[in-house]
Structure 1
Amino acid sequence: MARKAKAAKESLTTMTEMVLPNDTNTLGNLMGGRLMYFMDIAAAIAAQKHSNRIVVTASVDNVSFRHPIKLGNVVTIKAQVTRAFNSSMEVHLEVWAEDIPAQTKHKTNEAFYTFVAVDQTGRPIDVPEVIPETEEEKRLYESAIHRRELRLILSGRMQIQDATELKELLSKNLYPTAE
């Protein structure tokens, strides 16, 4: 049964945490695994808001740590579904660290997580399409197909020769046409 499409903004989730001593390594920085735990929760909430279903984490794309997040910083994670494919949803995350007394804030991480909606027995179930509205939502929506094909190739679930969207993108960028 096809589900009614939903605007990307309906899944927007903002989660805020304070970095406490138990969250840090010996240098006083937030441990990477702890940050990924926070990110997984925020992304799962966004996926649930979009699908109105139980969701499970299917994959996590590259998570790069641009800046350390210090003890006492406030971490804000913004998560939003960018596109849906049958039962799976791609969620884009941005992480910001804020030192409130110093009045500084900087982006520390960005990632894409993939979730699958499941029914009560754990079987995948269809999710609504995503309607992108802003220019950024449209950009993320359009590029999601390329990221999906790359994920499928890396997981061994798709052969490179079958990645039509990714091949088209690469051929455009490798061999641009003269105008």
Structure 2
Amino acid sequence: MTTDAAESTQDAGVPPQPPSPATSAEPRPSAGGADLPAELADAIIGLVRQYHSLRVRINDGKDVDAPPQMAVLGRLVDLGPCRASVLAEALLSDPSTVSRQVAGLVKAGWVDRGPDPVDGRAAILSITEAGRQRWVEHWRRRGEALAPVVERWSDEDQVDLARLLRQYTLDVDRHWDEVVTAFRKPPAAGPGA
């Protein structure tokens, strides 16, 4: 971002853009040669940081149109009618957090909460037609926002990236417990420890 652009966004009440976590398209040098999983992790962490930074700049999370609520709508589109516990698990989120998000979506008329025909004590969540229309609009706007980023990319590159990101997220889901365990493992003692 240029200095003029940074000043104009600050004048408009928009916080300045943080430095990019990925300063180069080149992989970072690794001590003993190529460490592809570590380089991949570094690139993904940069992507996640950018995503979180954009979420903060776009919305404070209190609006029903906020990304977390849109994630709930999108997952309901994928899952179809389901219990809140199933939705929370699919979102890898705490049930109480999902419950608060769903309450706002019910109030907005985008989600219905109806009785579970199998267990009357439980509720089944389903997206309403208004919610589905809102999700489609959000999905379209997301694509429009990203279009300038990939405008010089070939269609093939865009398709490849989307396919690889989907493959990555599915594989992380499959190996969730292993990934969590690996990150929680204390680091090996290095030289001088």
TM range (shorter): under 0.3
- Larger relative CO (CA 8 A, sep 6+): 1 or 2? 1
Structure number with larger C-alpha Rg: 2
Structure with more strand by fraction: 1
Per the normalisation by structure 2, the TM-score is 0.22
